C-alpha cells in the first residue's frame, strides 16, 4: 500500500510514542494535531477516519475516550522505520538472490520502474545490471510482471559466487555505506544535542516539533539502509546504535508525557 509521507509520520509517531502513553497523558489529539499542523479538530477526525478505512488503525476504548490502535497492516507499512531489528534478526541462509536484466535503453519508463522497485526492496547494486539481496525470495517475478515489465527481460538467480569474491566484499561494494554512515551520524548528533528533557514548554507540543526533525533525519538514513541480517553487518555500521538511541529518546518522551 502506498502511503503519503504525512500518513507514515502519523503512524510512526503513534508507534514510537506508544498508544498507552498517549491515552494516559490525554494528549493524543494535541500531539498529532501539532505534528500535522491541522488548524481545526475536523482535520484530525477526518485523518483518523481515513486511516481506519484503510485498516491501518483500529479503535480501542479506555474509560474516557476512544484511542486509535495500530493494526497489523499499519505496523507492516512502516516496519522498516519502527522495527529495523525485525530485519536484522532474520537468519541468513548464506544464499544471495541476484537479479540481472536486459531492458533496452529506449525503454526508459520500464527502467525507471524497475530501479524504483529495486531501491524500495533494498537490493544492492554490485555492478552494471547486476543487483542482489540477502533476503528470502518473495515471488518477485510476479511483482515485476505486475509493473508491465517483460518477464523474459529479468532473471533471478539464487546461489553463492565462486572465486575470490567474499560475502564481505559483496556487502561492501553493493550499498552506499559512507553515505549511510554520514546520515546515521547526523541523526545521532541531533538526538544528542536535543535531548527530550531539554525541550521547553508543553511536552505534547515539544514532542511534535522535535519529532518533525528527528523523523526526517531517521528516514533519511533508513531509506538507504539495506537492513541486512546481523552476520552481514559491516564494521562501523551505525544502524543498531541509531535504533537504540531512538528507543531511548522515545522512552524519555513517554516519561515526560506521563509525568
Predicted local confidence at residue 206, as pLDDT: 87
Which H, E and C letters describe 9-35, residue by residue?
HHHHHHHHHCHHHHHHHCCHHHHHHHH
Residues sharing a CB contact under 8 Å with residue 212, sequence separation 6 or more, in sequence order: 35
Predicted local confidence at residue 21, as pLDDT: 63
- What does the alpha-carbon distance between residue 227 and residue 180 come to, in Å, rounded to a whole number? 11
Residues sharing a CB contact under 8 Å with residue 119, sequence separation 6 or more, in sequence order: none
- What does the alpha-carbon distance between residue 174 and residue 188 come to, in Å, rounded to a whole number? 24
Q: What is the DSSP letter of 233?
A: P
Tens of pLDDT, residues 92-130 = 999 999 999 887 766 778 888 888 999 999 999 999 889
- What does the alpha-carbon distance between residue 199 and residue 185 come to, in Å, rounded to a whole number? 21
E strand or H helix at 68? strand 66-70
Tens of pLDDT, residues 129-153 = 899 999 998 888 888 888 888 777 8
For residues 175 and 124, the answer to whether their CB atoms sit within 8 Å is yes
Report the helix count and the strand count for the chain, using DSSP H and E: 13, 6
Q: Which of 193-202, 212-221, 248-257 has the lowest mean pLDDT?
A: 193-202
The three cell numbers of residue 240 are 543498531
Strand arrangement, sheet containing 124-127: 124-127, 130-133, 96-101, 154-159
Tens of pLDDT, residues 22-39 = 665 556 677 777 777 776
The three cell numbers of residue 225 are 539502509
Amino acid at each position: 500500500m502506498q502511503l503519503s509521507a504525512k500518513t507514515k509520520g502519523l503512524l510512526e509517531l503513534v508507534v514510537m510514542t506508544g498508544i498507552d502513553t498517549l491515552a494516559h497523558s490525554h494528549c493524543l489529539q494535541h500531539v498529532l494535531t501539532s505534528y500535522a499542523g491541522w488548524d481545526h479538530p475536523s482535520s484530525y477526525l477526518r485523518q483518523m477516519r481515513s486511516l481506519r478505512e484503510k485498516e491501518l488503525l483500529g479503535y480501542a476504548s479506555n474509560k474516557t475516550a476512544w484511542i486509535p490502535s495500530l493494526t497489523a497492516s499499519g505496523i507492516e507499512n512502516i516496519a522498516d522505520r519502527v522495527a529495523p531489528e525485525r530485519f536484522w534478526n532474520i537468519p541468513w541462509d548464506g544464499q544471495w538472490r541476484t537479479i540481472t536484466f536486459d531492458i533496452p535503453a529506449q525503454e526508459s519508463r520500464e527502467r525507471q520502474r524497475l530501479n524504483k522497485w529495486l531501491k524500495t526492496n533494498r537490493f544492492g547494486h554490485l555492478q552494471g545490471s547486476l543487483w542482489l539481496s540477502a533476503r528470502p525470495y518473495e515471488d518477485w517475478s510476479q511483482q515485476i510482471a505486475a509493473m508491465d515489465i517483460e518477464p523474459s527481460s529479468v532473471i533471478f538467480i539464487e546461489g553463492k559466487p565462486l572465486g575470490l569474491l567474499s560475502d564481505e566484499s559483496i556487502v561492501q561494494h553493493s550499498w552506499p555505506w559512507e553515505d549511510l554512515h554520514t546520515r546515521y551520524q547526523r541523526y545521532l548528533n541531533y538526538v544528542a544535542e536535543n535531548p527530550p528533557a531539554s525541550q521547553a514548554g508543553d511536552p505534547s507540543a515539544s514532542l511534535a516539533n522535535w519529532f518533525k526533525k528527528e523523523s526526517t533525519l531517521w528516514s533519511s538514513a533508513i531509506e538507504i539502509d539495506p537492513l541486512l541480517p546481523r552476520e552481514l553487518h559491516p564494521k562501523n555500521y551505525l544502524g543498531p546504535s541509531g535504533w537504540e538511541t531512538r528507543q531511548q529518546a522515545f522512552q524519555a518522551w513517554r516519561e515526560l508525557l506521563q509525568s
